Amino acid sequence: MAKSESSVKVGSVSSDGAIVAQGVVKTYDTGKVKVEALRGVNLTVNKGEMVAVMGPSGCGKTTLLNCMSGLDDLSGGEVLINGKPLSQMKDRERTRYRAEKIGFIFQSYNLLPVLSSAENVELPLLLGGKTPKEARKLALEALKAVGLEEWSTHKPSELSGGQQQRVTIARSLVNRPEIVFGDEPTGNLDSESSKEIMTLLRKLNKENKQTFIIVTHDYNIGRLADKIIMMRDGLIEKEFACSPY
């Protein structure tokens, strides 16, 4: 496995990237019961900051990520991206904002098994209208940034779990998003690979000044962020800064 982490940047990002939740409420109505998943969450994440969201299962971490990223509608409150309320964006603008400004890293890798690492990474670029030549160049740069330049022709089944997660990180970051959301991005990895992935995310966060909001159950991962947000029962219970990393 290519362990060394290259210092190549995934790309420069614009100066925006701050995200604010103001009194965010999310109620799921399943017909029989109403679940108050978020009960008035206030959170400011500054540009270039890395925040870890922690708390017990069911406390609303995924819901908060989905609401802040515009994947899910709010029941109340507001989310501001670079000062602009998400609710004031029309559907098309919101979709474009998600495609261009936001990256997602999920727990399951969601890589297409028949495609190589490079093909998986370049797919969103091709869908976004880049030429195959441009897309391949950017995909190879992104794979290099995650230390996988020698694995570009390999298919997911030929890679370890940690390597597959690196490919998904390259794919999430290849279009140079301002804000990256991760829902337990290391959830399927052993502790050593988890730390490696988190160290890599931290490096990309610092080099590219991208904003990161990462959900994790693992304090050893959370403490590598700038601050930890502890949630409980749909609210932020406390927020504390981590020691400099």
Ligand X SMILES: Nc1ncnc2c1ncn2[C@@H]1O[C@H](COP(=O)(O)OP(=O)(O)OP(=O)(O)O)[C@@H](O)[C@H]1O
Q: Is residue 171 a contact residue for ligand X (CB under 6 A)?
A: no
> What pairing do the DSSP bridges indicate for beta strands 211-215 and 179-183?
parallel
How far from each other are the two terminal CA atoms of the chain, in whole angstroms? Answer: 25
Given a contact cutoff of 8 angstroms between Cβ atoms, the answer to whether 14 and 178 are in contact is yes
Instruction: Tell me: does residue 112 bind ligand X (CB under 6 A).
Output: no
Radius of gyration of the chain (CA): 18
Q: Exposure string (b/e) for 226-238, b if CB count within 10 Å is 16 or more?
A: bebbbbeebbbee
User: Are 199 and 214 within 8 A, CB to CB?
Assistant: no
Q: How many residues interact with ligand X (rule CB under 6 A)?
A: 11
Those residues whose C-beta lies under 8 Å from the C-beta of residue 48, and which sit 6 or more positions away, are 17, 205, 209, 210, 211
Q: Which of 4, 7, 12, 57 binds ligand X (CB under 6 A)?
A: 57
CB of 96 to Mg ion, least distance (A): 26
Partner whose footprint covers residue 37, from Mg ion, ligand X, none (CB < 5 to 8 Å by kind): ligand X
CB of 237 to ligand X, least distance (A): 12
Indicate which single residue of 24, 43, 59, 214 sits in contact with ligand X (rule: CB under 6 A). Answer: 59
| CB closer to ligand X, 15 vs 108 | 108
Instruction: Provide, rounded to whole angstroms, the least separation between the CB of residue 24 and ligand X.
Output: 12
> How far is Cα 205 from Cα 107, in angstroms, rounded to an integer?
19
Q: How far is the CB of 60 from ligand X (least distance, A)?
A: 4
DSSP 20-72: EEEEEEEEEE-SS-EEEEEEEEEEEE-TT-EEEEE-STTSSHHHHHHHHTTSS
**Contact positions with ligand X (CB under 6 A) in 60-99:** 60-63
Closest CA to 53 of 226, 190, 202: 226
By CB under 5 A, is residue 107 in contact with Mg ion?
no
For residue 61, the minimal CB distance to ligand X (Å) is 4
Residue of the chain from 4, 12, 30, 157 that contacts ligand X (CB under 6 A): 30
37 versus 74: smaller Cβ distance to Mg ion? 37
Pick the closer one to ligand X by CB: 56 or 132: 56
- Catalog residues that contact ligand X under the rule CB under 6 A: 28, 30, 35, 37, 57-63
Residues near Mg ion (CB under 5 A) are 62
